[in-house]
Structure 1
Amino acid sequence: MAQSPHNEAKPLLYRAPPEVRGMVSLDRDAFTQTIVIPSIRVPKGVLNKVVKSLRRAIVQRPGIPRVVQDKENGSDEDDLRLVLLDPLRVSSPSSFNEAEAEALRSFGVPQELQYYNLQLRYSNLKTEEVLEAVLPEGQEITSAFSRVGHIAHMNLRDHQMPFKNLIGQVIMDKNPGVSCVVNKTNMIDNTYRNFKMELLAGEENMVAKVKENGASYEFDFSRVYWNPRLSTEHMRMVQEVKRGDALLDVFAGVGPFAIPAARAGATVLANDLNPESHRWLQHNVKINKVAAMVRTFNLDGRAFIRGPVRQELPALLQANAGVHIVMNLPALALEFLDSFRGLLGREPSCDANLPIVYCYGFSKDDDPERDMVEKASDSLGVSLEGRCSVYFVRNVAPNKDMMCVRFAVPKEVLFSTDQTEPKEEPAPKRQKCGETTD
């Protein structure tokens, strides 16, 4: 039996050997170490009851057994077993709380601690522990990633780049089902605003298969945009769409708004400028069996509004069902609102429904709700003060929020006889990688 380690076991159990510091090519064997942890001898007859009573004091490590044979006191047939304890929780017999101590007494188990030599391997360490041991001391350890099917995508900092391939391999090792790890480059600078990616580990297979809100999606993650953090927002917005309504999706991506709306019984017009997004949108419409409900377009957002939307809108507005227009490109969508000026010309003689717009945008303002209302009002050419609602979607960066402004298109905008042409398509902006959405 090992000697008491006193205080040495506390830092060792959750820390890799110091020799791995600075490693850039993963050597799993280098993480192996033997440490000494406390344990308690327990008769086999009460073993299950003791384990249950001490569940918060027992060591919890991937691949480490909670109970081992007491080799020092006999063979497999002997009556005693060792229950391995967490050294961060138990350092002496007095570490047991009142309920644990009472349970041990009732089962006739002495509170005397034994010490066990435990071999701790790479497989027993958590992701953060491996990276903390490898990267330079005092630097930020980032193990966070977003998962899209079999792909894990990260945003590595500059100081992590020398270790990027090791980090990718560790992420893949520690997350079952991940077979590809990529790092997103810092900037997006192209017409279709999709990410540039660098393969860190695994197979270079970028075609992901995901499920979200009951729908299935397939797409090439390197050529379209998909953000798993928007799942709740996709569901929240689509819940406003009722059977028989119409959804007009200006920046549809691969279909996270359009397809659930069609599945709910809405008629959908879905558009995206990116040919790859449009191709996968069509594919996802088919695999979700909603082709009868969805028409797809591969147009600029303004061309879609001034073309198919203007053509279909009069009939839709005469119906009793709701018309929902989604504009989910937060880096630019607010600038497209001027497309609604004079869209339908003269106001009809009879009452008509007004389309409801859900326009997403980014704000760095101290008052993001006011900022969104002002930007939307400027683009429409009329004030939306008191005529809209604004809500927070998510924080995308420090002091930068993604918001949504919801409003009915004012009659004086939609039915204006002013035929002033809207502004030209804004030039693609050089954006940070978190600044677009599907």
Structure 2
Amino acid sequence: MSRFFSRISTCMQTRHRSSAKTLFQPQTMAAVPLQKETKPGLYHAPPEVRGMISLDREAFAREITVPALRVPTRVLNKVVKSLKKATIKRPGVARVVQEGEPCSSDGGDFRLVLLDPLRMSSPSSFTEEEAEALRSLDVPEELQNHEMRLTYDNLKTEEVLEAVLPQGQEITSGFSRIGHIVHMNLRDHQLPFKNLIGQVIMDKNPGVTCVVNKTNIIDSTYRNFKMEVLAGEEDMVTKVKENGVTYEFDFSRVYWNSRLSTEHMRVVDQTKPGDIVLDVFAGVGPFAIPAARAGATVLANDLNPESHRWLKHNVKLNKVEKSVRTFNLDGRAFIQGPVRQELPALLKGKANIHVVMNLPALALEFLDAFRGLLNKELSCDTNLPIVHCYGFSKDDDPQKDVEVRASSSLGFCLEGRSSVQFVRNVAPNKEMMCVRFTVPKEVLFNTDDEQTDPIEEPASKRQKCGETSH
């Protein structure tokens, strides 16, 4: 094995000679942003709601004036269609209201089409296309004022929060929706208003019945985090549909990240019917089950007993029991146990072998489990396992950083033999990456006669290396 470390030393020296940075485009995420309006707002909250801790919906009501167009009912539908970009757009506010006075000329009546006050200040605000449509329908381009009452129900989430939080404090935030649960990461200045924020989020998002806030960092063993309920019922068993697959799980006891749906499919799309997928940190199955549905045979493992329980449940729920075998082992024990036992036969076949290692906080450290995994070299050059291993990086060059760390763990230089994919930005200066490579023969096969047993890690290290998919 000493020559492995000689090669890895050479590989690591090249890290500091590389000055080129790779530019990455982040994926579309499943989080829902709360963005401030950049234009002057239609709604100006009463000053007394500033600093409100307990939500009083009635206090947000306000009388406002908006421009309106008086339109005969006989052409109403055509006018509304022609002015769809000019009409008011506000939750719970109708674009058309009763005008009230009958039309004496034809016995019909009129309606008022409410217009967007941020765009329509005078008849000249109509585009030429809109003005031409009104002329063709014999509708005068004359605006009148309409008094209306905006209530809490008509307000957007950001409007409520901007009105309540102290002036100058950031209200832009985001959340992830997991079935009926919304998960938030509130900042310190938002915590005094946490219950109000939770109630507003629940009010403004139909189907949400529970809002939670993460209270500490993710647990290092089972990858779940402590949370507090901000609003709604404490019902943590939820159902999620992702990429056509249904998952059920207890969100308080397993790890689930809605932002990874695109990444799950990116990797699954690289498998073909008949391929083998070895999922080392399977969680509740977001890689394993879609791969099985796509025709792969899957060995899926997770250390967290709750994740393993819900993994088995979701395998049955999606009717892929014949294609998925599940295990409740430490990741290293899974590689050096079931994977080691299955590999000799798998390497003789024609199916591609994919190893998914989605535990970005620790997965790179587990790559050493492949060193000398098999003690007898087989006549196989083209069917070696393809690894998809995830890691976090705070380095200026995350692509190189992850490649070098993978090389160090393997004891083999991967320069020129791997590709690194940007997955998502986790925090400022912290990125999640995926390094993809074929396990080299020099790593997988043990050529040292004395070393025939799996590499043992100290008990302290095994204890911290728990896992659930991230």
Same topology, TM > 0.5: yes
Rounded to whole Å, the distance in 2 between the matches of 1:245 and 1:343 is 21
- Per-residue displacement from partner, 1:7-29 (whole Å, max 9, x unpaired)? xxx95633332221111111111
In structure 1, what is the equivalent of residue 252 of structure 2?
222
The offset of 1:195, in angstroms, is 1.4
Rounded to whole Å, the distance in 2 between the matches of 1:387 and 1:255 is 29
Question: What letter matches 1:71 in structure 2?
Answer: G
Change (3 A) 1:294 1:167: same
- Per-residue displacement from partner, 1:133-182 (whole Å, max 9, x unpaired)? 11111111134211111111011000100111111111111111111110
Match of 1:296 among 300, 304, 326: 326
Match of 2:242 among 204, 208, 212: 212
Change (3 A) 1:176 1:129: same
In structure 2, what is the equivalent of residue 250 of structure 1?
280
Match of 1:421 among 452, 455, 458: 455
Q: Any conservation in 2 of the 1:143–1:171 contact (CA below 8 Å)?
A: no
Question: What letter matches 2:210 in structure 1?
Answer: C
In structure 2, what is the equivalent of residue 379 of structure 1?
409
Rounded to whole Å, the distance in 2 between the matches of 1:46 and 1:177 is 37
Q: Does 1:31 align with 2:67?
A: no
Rounded to whole Å, the distance in 2 between the matches of 1:352 and 1:386 is 17
Q: Considering only aligned residues, what root-mean-square deviation do their CA atoms show, in Å?
A: 2.1
- Per-residue displacement from partner, 1:177-201 (whole Å, max 9, x unpaired)? 1111101123123421201111011
Question: What letter matches 2:55 in structure 1?
Answer: L
In structure 1, what is the equivalent of residue 178 of structure 2?
148
Rounded to whole Å, the distance in 1 between the matches of 2:312 and 2:142 is 68
In structure 2, what is the equivalent of residue 126 of structure 1?
156
In structure 2, what is the equivalent of residue 345 of structure 1?
375
- Per-residue displacement from partner, 1:251-279 (whole Å, max 9, x unpaired)? 00001111111112211111111010011
Question: What letter matches 1:339 in structure 2?
Answer: A
Q: Any conservation in 2 of the 1:29–1:121 contact (CA below 8 Å)?
A: yes
In structure 1, what is the equivalent of residue 132 of structure 2?
102
Question: What letter matches 1:221 in structure 2?
Answer: F
Question: What letter matches 1:52 in structure 2?
Answer: K
Rounded to whole Å, the distance in 2 between the matches of 1:136 and 1:361 is 38
In structure 1, what is the equivalent of residue 99 of structure 2?
70
The offset of 1:408, in angstroms, is 0.8
Q: Does 1:398 align with 2:398?
A: no
Moved over 6 A (4+): 72-75
Report which stretch shifted further, 45-54 or 232-241.
45-54
Rounded to whole Å, the distance in 2 between the matches of 1:39 and 1:350 is 76
SS in 1 for 2:292: helix
In structure 1, what is the equivalent of residue 45 of structure 2?
16
- Per-residue displacement from partner, 1:394-425 (whole Å, max 9, x unpaired)? 11111211111111111011002342825443
Match of 2:398 among 368, 382, 387: 368
Q: Any conservation in 1 of the 2:96–2:111 contact (CA below 8 Å)?
A: yes
In structure 2, what is the equivalent of residue 5 of structure 1?
none
In structure 2, what is the equivalent of residue 278 of structure 1?
308
Change (3 A) 1:422 1:383: farther
Question: What letter matches 1:152 in structure 2?
Answer: V
Q: Any conservation in 2 of the 1:12–1:35 contact (CA below 8 Å)?
A: no
Match of 1:51 among 63, 66, 80: 80
Report which stretch shifted further, 166-175 or 59-68.
59-68
The offset of 1:67, in angstroms, is 1.5
- Map 1:159-198 to 2 at 5 A: 159-198=189-228
In percent, how many aligned pairs have the same letter?
75
Match of 2:114 among 75, 78, 84: 84
In structure 2, what is the equivalent of residue 4 of structure 1?
none
In structure 1, what is the equivalent of residue 168 of structure 2?
138
Identify which of structures 1 and 2 has the higher relative contact order when contacts are C-alpha pairs closer than 8 Å and 6+ apart: 2
Aligned length: 424
The offset of 1:337, in angstroms, is 0.4
Question: What letter matches 1:267 in structure 2?
Answer: T
The offset of 1:293, in angstroms, is 1.4
Match of 2:387 among 349, 357, 381: 357
